[in-house]
Chains A and B, each alone.
Chain A
Amino acid sequence: MTFELSHFSAALLFAVCASTVFGITQRNNPRDMVRYGAYCFSLFIAGVIIASWVMWFIKH
């Protein structure tokens, strides 16, 4: 069985899983866990989008 993911969907799946574990392990109560998980997820995605634009500008 092989997975066929685009670069973005691979980064998205990575962000979902990593931010879930970060949220659970780095905060004490459920509300803060959700908030921190969402914060990490948004940083992951923002990082991916910014890095991809930087690479686009380097190429062009």
Chain B
Amino acid sequence: MANAQNTTALPAKRATETGSMSYIAPLAGWLLPGLGHLIQRRYVRGVLIMLSVFTMFFAGLGMQGKVYAFNTGDLLDILGFVGDIGAGALYFIARAMDWGGGNIHRALADYGTKYIVVAGLLNVIAAVDAHHIAIGKKQ
């Protein structure tokens, strides 16, 4: 009888864990790039994603790229903000430290702006991937 209870309780517990992980993993992955994979024991993938997003974000800042603030002005500025905020904690740290003022006199600074936006977008893709792993759609 006890065994029968255990066999029914285990899948139920696992389903609950999977259910909560399906929210936690993408949220953690968004907040800190790669963390969504790391907490699901995909260490190599997590570290590679973290390296890629961090490299792109900080290379963008190093090129004097612009970090967009929340705005309701130009459509491209709004989309820039949406892309940037995908980087999660990196975005909030950059805003808090007043990094990413941009430099319109350097051609490379425009590259930097795109690097920062793409770092955010790649992080969103990685967070969605972490969600797919959590729900069992991907190994």
User: Taking beta carbons and an 8 Å cutoff, which residues of A are in contact with B?
Assistant: 1-5, 7, 10, 13-14, 16-18, 20-22, 24-25, 28-29
Residues of A contacting B115 in the complex (Cβ-Cβ under 8 angstroms): 10, 14
B63: chain A residues within 8 A (beta carbon): 2-3, 5, 10
Q: Does B87 contact A (CB under 8 A)?
A: no
Compute how far the CA of A10 lies from the CA of B129 in the bound complex, rounded to whole angstroms: 26
Are the C-beta atoms of A14 and B56 separated by less than 8 Å? yes
B: residues with CB less than 8 A from A are 45, 48-49, 51-53, 55-56, 59, 62-64, 108, 111-112, 115, 118-119, 122, 125-126, 128-129, 138-139
Q: For the complex, what is the distance from the CA of A16 to the CA of B45, rounded to whole Å? A: 15
Neighbouring A residues of B118 by C-beta, 8 Å: 14, 18
Residue from the list B53, B62, B64, B111 in contact with A21, Cβ < 8 A: B53
Instruction: Please classify the interface of chain A as helix (H, G, I), strand (E, B), loop, or mixed, using the class held by over half of its residues.
Output: helix
**Whole-angstrom distance between the Cβ of B103 and the nearest chain A Cβ:** 9
Contact partners of B49 in chain A: CB under 8 A: 20-21, 24
Of B45, B62, B111, B112, which contacts A24 at CB under 8 A?
B45
- The answer to whether B52 and A10 have CB atoms under 8 Å apart is no
Chain A proximity of B67: nearest CB distance (Å): 15
Nearest-neighbor residue (CB-CB) of A3 within chain B? B62
Complex: how many Å from CA A55 to CA B114? Answer: 20
